[in-house]
Amino acid sequence: MANDKKRIVFVINSLTGGGAERAMTNLLAFARDDLANDDVHLVLLDQEPERHEVDASVQKTTLNARHSLLPSLVQLHGALKRLRPDVTVSFLTRSNCANVVASALLRRPCVISERVHTSSHFGKRLASLGSRLMVRLLYPWADHVIAVSGNVKQDLVENFGVPAERISVIGNGISTDTIAGRASEAPAIALPDTFIAAAGRLVPTKNFALLIEAYHRSGLPFPLVILGEGPERPKLASLVETLGLGGRVLMPGYVANPYPVIRRARMFVSSSNAEGFPNALVEAMALGCPVVATDCEAGPAEILDSAERADQEPIVAPYGILVPVNAPQALARAMQMMAEEPMRLSFSLKARQRAADYAPDQVVKRYMAVLGTILYKAETTPAAADGNVFLGP
């Protein structure tokens, strides 16, 4: 980026539990040295319990948009008007939409980051039509879009009209050293000697119901531990009882440090219907935990480096096993396969190797390149002297 001091504002809905929130705070920590000469702010749209720490070098502002788009837009506009950023970077759909509009009104450049496979995330429900339309109208006006995987980029180009040349694919940085250090701590919960692990918010997209059904069909003798909290808990607890799995499927809730748990697991299973970049999957791999994942539209196939998609049966990919989405029998079979030696040991070693490809320094380098390009364009635009720059389609 340019040598003179810049003001960079990052925006996200909140810092409650979630992969995007962890990716945001990790990025700010990883980029601390690169941004040491800049004025860095973080704006949170909602007042929520914060489960992720922000690097001490970052100045934080918390708004009160109450999970709604219009208040988010109005309040973010006010915050950005006061902060006068040289560039604004946002994560998550609502923050992205508010960022595009607020930055346009203030004629400031913005970068948005799409963390999910947008079409899969919204689905085809009538209730999602407004959200899909909002993305279709606003995303093409961002100065640049960062997609966390190639399939996310493809979806934005084909279904939401974002120009391909204005999208960069940048995965999340995973610090294997940091994760290993935290994994060396004692687990915060009591654990069985041998178990299967899964983690994520208890929401429909994560499809833990599929995992519980597949676990039931697998007949594996060791328990299943699902880390996370969310609105699906009553439904999942009912399913556990219906299947007679009480005492074998453990749902201890949100655990601030999940790594000691995952490090001790026999395998890690991701059962999602949709992902962007599944942090938990790569973090498990960084700990040498072999992984089984549903082949949802974005993320797992790229991470496991599979040349083919799992449409009916499990696929043994270079770095783990992929299974079709919503296929309990296939998932059960994959779990049985991964439970056996020497496959489990082999994938434990391969998982560590693959996780090293997501080193934070490479991710930060690519983010800095995007910001540098946007700031250079802003500085060389004639109206940029008073902030009047907007690089739309």
Instruction: Provide the pLDDT for residue 276.
Output: 81
Quote the tokens at residue 111.
């970068």
Dihedral in degrees, nearest 10, Cα atoms 51, 54, 55, 58: 180
Cα–Cα distance list, 194 to 190, 223, 362 (Å): 12, 7, 35
Tell me how far apart the alpha carbons of residues 40 and 50 are, in angstroms, rounded to a whole number: 19
Tell me how far apart the alpha carbons of residues 198 and 352 are, in angstroms, rounded to a whole number: 18
Tell me how far apart the alpha carbons of residues 223 and 366 are, in angstroms, rounded to a whole number: 41
Residue with tokens 């696929």: 315
CB 21 within 8 Å of CB 51: yes
Tell me how far apart the alpha carbons of residues 8 and 39 are, in angstroms, rounded to a whole number: 6
State residue 44 phi and psi, 5-degree precision: -100, 130
For residue 260, the tally of other CB atoms under 10 A from its CB is 18
Instruction: Provide the pLDDT for residue 161.
Output: 96
Residue with tokens 């539990």: 17
CB 72 within 8 Å of CB 44: no
Quote the tokens at residue 100.
């595009």
Tell me how far apart the alpha carbons of residues 13 and 19 are, in angstroms, rounded to a whole number: 12
Bridge-based pairing state of the strands 320-323 and 315-317: antiparallel
Q: Is the peptide bond before 318 cis (omega within 30 degrees of 0)?
A: no
Task: Please name the residues in contact with 151: beta carbons below 8 A apart, sequence gap of 6 or more.
Answer: 117, 297, 298, 299, 301, 302
SS3 label, residue 29 = helix
Tell me how far apart the alpha carbons of residues 334 and 311 are, in angstroms, rounded to a whole number: 14
Tell me how far apart the alpha carbons of residues 268 and 338 are, in angstroms, rounded to a whole number: 10
Instruction: Provide the pLDDT for residue 381.
Output: 67
Which amino acid, one-letter code, is at 294? Answer: T
Tell me how far apart the alpha carbons of residues 101 and 137 are, in angstroms, rounded to a whole number: 11
For residue 234, the tally of other CB atoms under 10 A from its CB is 9
Residue with tokens 């219009």: 70
Instruction: Provide the pLDDT for residue 307.
Output: 81
Instruction: Provide the pLDDT for residue 297.
Output: 80
Quote the tokens at residue 381.
């635009």
Question: What is the per-residue DSSP string for 311-370?
Answer: SSS-EEETTEEEE-TT-HHHHHHHHHHHHSTTHHHHHHHHHHHHHGGG-HHHHHHHHHHH
Give ∠ CA 346-352-354 in degrees, rounded to 5.
100
pLDDT, one tens digit for every residue, the chain (393 residues) = 545 799 999 999 999 877 789 889 999 999 999 999 999 999 999 999 998 889 899 999 999 999 999 999 999 999 999 999 999 999 999 999 999 999 999 999 999 999 888 887 777 777 678 888 999 999 999 999 999 888 899 999 999 999 999 999 998 888 899 999 999 999 999 999 999 999 999 999 999 999 999 999 999 999 999 999 999 999 999 999 999 999 999 999 999 899 999 999 999 999 999 888 888 999 999 999 999 999 988 789 999 998 888 888 999 999 999 999 999 999 999 999 999 999 999 999 999 999 998 889 989 999 999 999 999 888 876 544 344 333 344
Tell me how far apart the alpha carbons of residues 267 and 190 are, in angstroms, rounded to a whole number: 18
State residue 362 phi and psi, 5-degree precision: -70, -40
